Every structure is written in C-alpha cells, then in structure tokens.
C-alpha cells in the first residue's frame, strides 16, 4: 500500500468556464488515446489511482493548481472522454447528485457495453464510499465519487470529501489491484491540505481488534449496545470523545447526541444477519458514521481495544517543500508522472499550440511542487 502525498486543495466556488472545459476535453482525448494505445486500459486505471499523477494530469489539462475543482472538473472531463470513446474504460458518478446515480449508471453502462457483473462493481462502489465516509472520520464529508472500470472488472475510484469549517478538501484514491481488503489499509493514496489530529481510523492495521469487537457487538441484540453506552456514561471516561468532537467535554452530553444518530434499524439487521467480519458489517445499509463511532467507542472504552487516531495521509510537497515538513517530498513519483505525461503529450494528435501549452503547464506543475 502506497499513500502518495498531500496537495493544498482549497474549496473554490463557481463553475469552470465553457472555453476551459472544451479545451480540457480536446487535450484529454488526445492524451488518453496515446496512453491507451501504448499501455492499455489497466495502466490508465493505475495512473488515475495515483494522487500525484492525477494532480499532474489535472494541471496539464488546464485546471487551477490548488482548487478542489481540480478533482471534480477533471473527473467530469475524463468521464466524458472514456464514455464517448472506445478506450475500454467507462466511468459513472460525479459531484453531488451525480454521485448518487453511480449505481444506476454502472447498470446502464454494463448493459450497453460490458459483460462484467455489475453487482460486483456496485458493491465495490458502495464499500469505497462507506469506508471514506464512515470508517475514516476526519471531519470530511464525501460529496464527489467517480467510479472507473474496465471490461475485465478492474476498477479505480477518485472521490473527494469537504470540510466546510476548515475550507479544505481531501481526495481519496482506490485501485482494485491494490485492494487486499476493503477495511485494512485499502487506499492507493489520500491527499489533502492538512494532517488532522485525532482521526478515527477504523481501517488502520492497528484497529484490527476494534474491528473484530465491533462485529461482535453488532451481532448481539442492539439493547446490549445501549447498555454499554450507559456504562460508559457512568464511568465518566473520555478516551474517544476528544477525536469525535473536542467540544464534547462530558460523556453524558456526547452519549445523548451519539445515541440519537445511531441507526438502530441497521443494528437490528446486523443482529439478525450476524456479519462475520467488519466489511460485511460496513456493507449493511444504514451503518453510517454515527453507528461506527458508537461501536468504536464501546470497543475502546469497554473492551480496551485500540482505535487508531492516525491520519492515513503520508506525504507532503505542495507546502512541505525541501525541509520535509510535515512529510518528505516524493520526488521519484513526481519524476515518473512528469516523464509519463510528457511522452503522452508529445505523441498526442492535439496540434502544436496545444502541445506547447500542455508541456508548459506540466513544467509549471513541477515548479510549484518543488518550491525553491
């Protein structure tokens, strides 16, 4: 598992102008035709799952370096290019309401173009969203989800969450070939502008015991969870409250808010179906952030299981720079992304003027990533 970096992705309002989108479509079409011809569709998925490469292609196509729109607009452009052309890749989903149509779009695309089982793809799409919205809780709500897939059933996901209080975005990358488990260090990369303290990270290696206990609790009668929460209130312990919300100074206040938001219907279903592992538990409809928090709280305080507070982000170079703060620059990955894209741009049939513009933007990407 390689979590590749951090970029400064600020939340910017407005829409991309039509002249920019039309240019991005033309460039993307030419560049990805070359990549598909030379390396195939699986390599395209692999590249999209690399946060550094995705940011590089976004910059080359012409979007703002540090804007959250570099994710949403670039993904929309790629979706159009892949679904229009015969590159053996299709894409579903998007920003806001479009993200909620992902499953229906997968069905339609598979019916028209692909022999792959759409149920397997839809399962992956749901689990990816569940993990980043519920199993990892750092204050970012998922609002963008694009699911790329091939005829062979391989897939990649680029999704983004926003934290309106911090006015920042965080992007999550997945690639099916890298996923050994949906709930144990599954990402190809996660990028954002801040390393958050006191994250609830239930997909960290060190949260294994908490995952097991959460499944055991969910397999019991929901009344047991209510009783455990009462015991926590009585004990006056505060182990997890700090990372759930620093403003909740007492367990009693926290418990009232938490219990109101728990999906007790989903826990009843878990009790009846008896999930055998954390992935199956997370896949149950209605098991969301509040329910996962409650299970994590009980696992740690009552059963003394570690719940990781480690932010899964690993590297920084947009603001870390040469001093390596807060994390070192991944120059090797940057060089690979630049060389790969330069090769594709030079061979793309996009006209000399557009080639020059794209190559200049690629050079600018490197300069902004490696401040002098």
Q: DSSP states of 264-331 as a string? A: HHHHHHHHHH--SSHHHHHHSTT--HHHHHHHHHHHHHTT----B---S-----SSSGGGT-SS---H
Least confident of 88-92, 183-187, 236-240: 236-240
Average pLDDT over residues 109-118: 86
**Which candidate, 239, 284, 30, 25, places its Cα nearest to that of 135?**
284
CA distances from residue 253 to 195, 233, 247, 263, 371 in whole angstroms, order as listed: 28, 9, 10, 18, 46
Q: Would you state the pLDDT for residue 86?
A: 87
- Residue 167: phi, psi to the nearest 5? 55, 50
How large is the angle between the packed helices 69-84 and 18-39, nearest 10 degrees?
Answer: 60
CA distances from 205 to 132, 186, 192, 208 (A): 16, 10, 21, 6
Q: What's the rounded Cα separation, in Å, for the pair 161 and 83?
A: 24
Mention every residue, 6+ apart, whose C-beta is less than 8 A from residue 129.
142, 145, 159
**Most confidently predicted of 22-31, 119-128, 223-232:** 119-128
Secondary structure letter of residue 140 according to DSSP: -
pLDDT of 242 over the 70 cut: no
Identify the pLDDT of residue 251.
Answer: 46
Q: Is 48 in contact with 347 (CB distance < 8 Å)? A: no
| CA dihedral (152, 130, 74, 341) positive or negative | negative
pLDDT digits (tens, 9 = 90+) for 327-365: 555 678 888 989 999 999 999 999 898 899 899 888 887
Question: Closest by alpha carbon to 348, among 62, 37, 81?
Answer: 37
Strand partners, 144: 95, 160
Output the average pLDDT for the chain. Answer: 84
SS3 state of residue 96: helix
Beta bridge partners of 173: 158, 189
250-287 pLDDT, tens per residue?
Answer: 444 445 557 889 999 999 999 999 999 999 999 999 99
Q: Rounded to an integer, what distance in angstroms lies between the CA atom of residue 131 and that of residue 190?
A: 13
Q: Which of 10-19, 102-111, 332-341 has the highest mean predicted lDDT (pLDDT)?
A: 102-111
């Amino acid at each position: 598992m390689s979590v590749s970096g951090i970029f400064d992705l600020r939340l910017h309002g407005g829409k991309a102008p039509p002249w920019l989108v039309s240019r991005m479509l033309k460039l993307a079409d030419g560049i990805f035709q070359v990549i598909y011809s030379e390396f195939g569709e699986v390599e395209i998925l692999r590249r999209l799952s690399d946060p550094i490469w995705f940011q590089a292609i976004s910059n080359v196509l012409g979007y703002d370096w540090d804007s959250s729109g570099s994710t949403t607009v670039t993904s929309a452009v790629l979706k159009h290019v892949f679904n229009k052309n015969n590159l053996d890749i299709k894409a579903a989903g998007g920003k806001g309401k479009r993200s909620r149509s992902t499953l229906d779009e997968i069905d339609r695309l598979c019916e028209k173009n692909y022999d792959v089982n759409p149920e397997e793809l839809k399962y992956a799409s749901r689990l990816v969203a569940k993990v980043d919205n519920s199993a990892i809780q750092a204050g970012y709500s998922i609002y963008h989800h694009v699911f790329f897939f091939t005829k062979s059933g391989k897939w990649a996901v680029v999704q983004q969450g926003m934290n309106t209080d911090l006015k920042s975005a965080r992007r999550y990358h997945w690639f099916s070939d890298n996923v050994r488990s949906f709930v144990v260090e599954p990402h190809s990369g996660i990028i954002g502008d801040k390393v958050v303290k006191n994250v609830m990270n239930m997909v960290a290696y060190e949260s294994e015991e908490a995952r097991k206990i959460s499944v055991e609790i969910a397999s019991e009668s929901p009344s047991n969870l209510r009783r455990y929460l009462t015991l926590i209130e009585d004990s006056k312990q505060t182990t997890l409250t700090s990372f759930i919300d620093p403003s909740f100074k007492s367990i009693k206040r926290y418990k009232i808010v938490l219990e109101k938001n728990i999906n007790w219907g989903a826990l009843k279903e878990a009790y009846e179906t008896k999930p055998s592992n954390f992935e199956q538990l997370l896949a149950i409809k209605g098991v969301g952030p509040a329910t996962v928090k409650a299970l994590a709280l009980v696992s740690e305080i009552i059963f003394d299981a570690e719940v990781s507070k480690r932010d899964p982000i690993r590297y920084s170079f947009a603001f870390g720079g040469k001093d390596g703060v807060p994390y070192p620059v991944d120059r090797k990955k940057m060089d690979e992304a630049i060389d790969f894209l330069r090769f594709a741009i030079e061979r793309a049939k996009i006209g000399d003027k557009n080639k020059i513009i794209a190559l200049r933007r690629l050079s600018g990407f490197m300069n902004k990533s490696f401040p002098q």
